[in-house]
Amino acid sequence: MLEIKPILRSLMRSKAGAAMLIFQIIITTAIVSNAAFIINDRMNYLSQETGYPEDEIFSFSVMTVGEVDNLSTLLEGTEQLIRDIPGVINANLINNVPVSGGGSASGFGSQPASERGPDTRAAYFTADENIFETLGVTISEGRNFRSDEVIVGSTMNDVPQVVIVSKGFADTHFPEGNGLGQTIYFGNAPMQIIGIVDKMKGPWLKDSAVDSVVVMPNARASMRQKFIVRTEADQRDIIMRDIESVLLEESNKRVVTYMRSMDAAKANYNASDILMVRMMTVIICVIVLVTALGIFGMTVFNISKRTKQIGTRRALGARKSAILRYFLVENTIICIVSAAASYASSLFLGEYMMSEFSLPALDNSYIVVTIVCVFAISLLSVLFPALKAANIAPSIATRSI
Amino acid sequence: MLSMKNISKVYQTEKVQTHALRDFNLEVAEGEFIAVTGPSGSGKTTFLNIAGMLEPHTGGQYMLDGIDVGKLSDNQTADLRNQKIGFIFQGFNLIPDLNLFENIEVPLRYAGIKSAERKRRIVECLEKVGLASRAKHLPQQLSGGQQQRVAIARALAGKPRFLLADEPTGNLDSLMARQVMELLESINEEGATIIMVTHDAELARRAPRNIQVVDGQLADFTLYQNKTIEAVANATAMEV
Ligand SMILES: Nc1ncnc2c1ncn2[C@@H]1O[C@H](COP(=O)(O)OP(=O)(O)OP(=O)(O)O)[C@@H](O)[C@H]1O
Ligand SMILES: [Mg+2]
C-alpha cells in the first residue's frame, strides 16, 4: 500500500517546495552527467600508454653559438660522448621530441605530391638507426636503417631513400596491412618502407593521428639541436644533473637548454587536462553535496511543518514504517517527475558543451546512470529525516495545538 | 471493555518528575458515554492518551477488550488504534492539504481497506455528519464546527467501538458545540462507547456517566443530577 494518489494530491497542493526540488534535481543531473562524461573522456586520454619507457628518457637542446667548422661532426661527437656516459643506454640527435607537444607533421601519399593523390597525415621524426633503442620501441616488421642509409648533413635537400613507419600509419595508409616494402612520397621524393614499429606516438597526444608516425634516416645537425637520451631508470636524474658540465667541457661554444624528462614533458602537456579533471571532480562533489543538503533541509522543514499531522496519522493507526514510506514515496515521485526533464536538460547541456568546447557527444548511459545515482542520493538524504519523522510520538496529536 | 488497574504515569524531564496519573482505576462497559471533567493539569489528557494507546503508562495494568496493552509492540498498538479506536481532537487535526474525502480515507488506507469499500464508507460517514456535498473541499474552507464534524466522520469511518474525544467542543461556540454533542449522542446510541473530556459543565451533564480527574486520580461520580456536578466542580476549583 503505497498511498501514491494522496501523496501526489498533497504535493500538487503545495507545489513550491516540490518545484524547487525538481529544479535542483534537473540542474544536478545535467551538470553531473556532463561532468562525469568529460572526466571519463579525459581519464581515458590521460591513461593511454605511450609505449615509451617515459621514466628512462630525457631530452634537451644544444644551442651552438659562434662559428663552428663542421657542426655535423661536432654534434655527432657529442652524441658519442653522451653514449659513453655510464648509465646511458643510447642517445640520438632528433628533430623533435615525442610526447613533448612540439613537432612536425606532413601528408605522406602513394604518389608524388604534384599528382595530388590521397595522403595520410603523420608526424615525422628525423634521426638515425639508434632512435628505436633510444625510444625503447621495437621494429616488429622489416629491419632497422643501415648506417649507410642515413643522410648526414645540415639541410633537408637530400631526402632519404628508405623510411620506417609506425603500424598506425601503415595500417591507415595501407588498410590491407601490406605496408612493408611499399613506396610513399614525402613531397615528390619517394621512400621505401623498410620497417614497421608496432607502437609509436607522435609529439601531440591529443592529436587524433597520434599513432601515425614516420621516421626518416636523416641525422640533421642544426644550430639548435635537440638530443634525446635513454638511461637506466635509476640513473636518469643523476645524468640529467651532470650532463651539462660534460657537454660544456667538450665545447664552450654552446648553451644547453630545455632539459626535460619525458614524463615531465608529458605531465606538462597534460596539465590542463589534469586540472580539468580535478575541477570537474570538485564540481560534481560540491553540487551533489548541495543537492543532498537541499533535499535533506527541505525534508527536515517539511517534517517540522507536519509534526502534528504525523502524530495524527500515527494516532489514526499509521505504523512507523508507513510514515517512513510516506516520505520515501514522496521523494520517489519527485525524482520520477524530474527524470524526463533531467534527461532532456542533460542532453541539451551536452550539445552545448559539444559545440562550444569541441567535446565528444554525451553518451546516453551517463545520463541514465546519473539519474539513478541522483535518485539514490536523494533517497539517502530523505532517509535520515524520515526516520526521525517515524519516531514522532502519536501523543503529539493531543499535546500540541 | 476497558479496565485500568492502578495505572500510573510519570513524566520524567531533566529535573522534574511529574506524576500525571497515580493509582488510577476505571472500568468502562460496552456502550457507555462518559464525560471526563477536572481542573486543568489534573491528568485528563494523559488518561485519554493512555486509554487510546497514544502513549505508554508507566505502572499498573490496562486491559482493552481483554488485551494487555502494556505488552504490545509499537506496530501492534498502531494496528489496535486503527481497528478499535476513533480519536476526536480539540484542534480537529485534519490534514490541511488533503480534502475532506482524502482526510477520512487516511485511517481506512492504514486499515488496508479496498478502494470501493473506502469510498462507500466515506460517503456514508460524510452523510452522517451532514457534509456529503463538501467532499472535495479542503479543511480550511470549512467552519470550525464543520471541521470537527469531518474529524468525527474520520473517527467513525473505521467503525471503531470506542471513541475518545479530548475537548471536542473546546474550540467551538455553544451552538456548534451542541451540534457536535448531539452527533456524539447519536453515535453512542448506535452502540459506540464514548469517553469525552470536556470543560463544559453543561455538556458533561448530558452524559450518562461523569467521572472527575483530580490531581491524577479518579473521583468517580455517577451522577444524573445536574446540581451535584456543579457542586463538585466548585468544590474542586476551591481546592485547587
Ligand atoms: N510530555 C510531558 N512531559 C512532562 N509533563 C507532562 C507532559 N504531558 C503532560 N505533563 C504534565 O502532566 C500533568 C497532566 O497533564 P494533562 O495534559 O493530562 O492535564 P489535563 O487534565 O489534560 O489538563 P488541561 O485541562 O489543561 O488539558 C500536567 O501537570 C502536565 O504538566
Ligand atoms: Mg488536556
Could you give all domains of chain B from N- to C-terminal order, each with its CATH number?
Answer: 2-91+164-239 (3.40.50.300)
pLDDT at B224: 43
Cβ <8 Å between A318 and B110: yes
Cβ <8 Å between A394 and B102: no
Q: Is the pLDDT of residue B83 over 50?
A: yes
Confidence of residue B227 (pLDDT cuts 50, 70, 90): very low
Q: How far apart are CA A30 and CA A9, in angstroms?
A: 28
Angle at B154 between CA B151 and CA B158, to 5 degrees: 150
Nearest bound ligand to the CA of residue B40: 1
Q: Is the CB of B44 under 6 A from ligand 1?
A: yes
* A46 contacts A228 by C-beta, under 8 angstroms: no
Give the phi and the psi of residue A359 in degrees, each rounded to 5.
Answer: -95, 160
Task: State pLDDT tens for residues B159-194.
Answer: 999 999 999 998 888 888 998 899 999 999 999 999
Count other Cβ atoms within 10 Å, centred on residue B36: 28
- Top-confidence residue, B227 or B150: B150
Nearest bound ligand to the CA of residue B51: 1
pLDDT at A222: 86
pLDDT at A296: 92
Cβ <8 Å between B166 and A398: yes
Residue B54 has its nearest CB partner, among A1, A308, A315, at A315
Share of chain B above pLDDT 90, in %: 80
pLDDT at A228: 96
* A173 contacts A141 by C-beta, under 8 angstroms: no
In the beta sheet, which residues pair with residue A269? none
* Cα B90 to averaged position of ligand 1 atoms, centre (Å): 15
Calculate the CA dihedral of residues A322, A323, A324, A325 and round it to 10 degrees.
50
pLDDT at A158: 74
Residue A319 has its nearest CB partner, among B52, B75, B90, at B75
pLDDT at A356: 86
- Interface contact B13, partner A, CB < 8 A: no
Task: Please give the average per-residue pLDDT across B86-107, as a whole number.
Answer: 94
- Interface contact A318, partner B, CB < 8 A: yes
Tell me the residue type at B14.
E
Which residues of chain B does A314 touch, with a Cβ-Cβ cutoff of 8 Å? 54, 78
In the beta sheet, which residues pair with residue A164? A195, A215
- Top-confidence residue, B223 or A134: A134
* Cα B100 to averaged position of ligand 2 atoms, centre (Å): 26
Cβ <8 Å between B110 and A399: no
Question: In sequence order, what are the residues at sequence separation of 6 or more whose Cβ sits closer than 8 angstroms to the Cβ of residue B181?
Answer: B169, B203, B206
Residue A316 has its nearest CB partner, among B87, B96, B102, at B87
Q: Is the CB of B43 under 6 A from ligand 1?
A: yes
Q: Is the pLDDT of residue B239 over 80?
A: no
Angstrom CA distances, A304 to A11, A307, A311, A387, stand at 16, 5, 11, 13
Q: Is the CB of B45 under 6 A from ligand 1?
A: yes
Which residues of chain A does B49 touch, with a Cβ-Cβ cutoff of 8 Å? 395, 398-399
B184 CA: distance to closest CA in chain A (Å): 19
Confidence of residue B150 (pLDDT cuts 50, 70, 90): very high
Residue listed under C-alpha cell 455538556? B203
Give the phi and the psi of residue A354 in degrees, each rounded to 5.
Answer: -65, -45
Which residues of chain B does A315 touch, with a Cβ-Cβ cutoff of 8 Å? 52, 54, 81, 87, 93
| Global pTM value | 0.79
Give the phi and the psi of residue A167 in degrees, each rounded to 5.
Answer: -60, -35
Task: State pLDDT tens for residues B115-138.
Answer: 999 999 999 999 989 999 999 999
Q: What ligand 1 atom has the least distance to the C-alpha of A395?
A: 1
| Residue bearing the CA closest to ligand 1, atom 17 | B45
Q: What is the mean pLDDT of chain A?
A: 91
pLDDT at B240: 42
Q: How far apart are CA A18 and CA A299, in angstroms?
A: 10
Give the phi and the psi of residue A253 in degrees, each rounded to 5.
Answer: -90, 45
pLDDT at B225: 43
* Cα A92 to averaged position of ligand 2 atoms, centre (Å): 97
* Cα B197 to averaged position of ligand 2 atoms, centre (Å): 8
pLDDT at A1: 58
CA atoms within 13 A on the CB side of A142: 22
Task: Please give the average per-residue pLDDT across B203-214, as a whole number.
Answer: 93
Q: What is the mean pLDDT of chain B?
A: 90
Q: How far apart are CA B155 and CA B149, in angstroms?
A: 10
ipTM of the predicted structure?
0.90
| Chain B CA closest to residue A14 | B97
Helix, coil or strand: residue A140: strand
Residue B49 has its nearest CB partner, among A13, A313, A395, at A395
DSSP string, A193-208: EEEEES----S-TTST
Q: How far apart are CA A64 and CA A43, in angstroms?
A: 41
For chain A, 401 residues long, the average pLDDT of each consecutive 10-residue run is 82 85 93 92 86 94 86 88 94 93 91 86 94 95 92 74 94 90 91 94 89 92 92 94 90 90 91 90 93 90 92 96 94 93 94 85 91 94 95 90 62
| Chain A CA closest to residue B105 | A6
Q: Is the CB of B18 under 6 A from ligand 1?
A: yes
Residue A27, classified by CB atoms within 10 Å of its CB into exposed (0-12), middle (13-18) or buried (19+), is middle
**Mutation to probe ligand 1, out of A399, A400, A401 (largest number of atoms < 8 A from CB):** A399
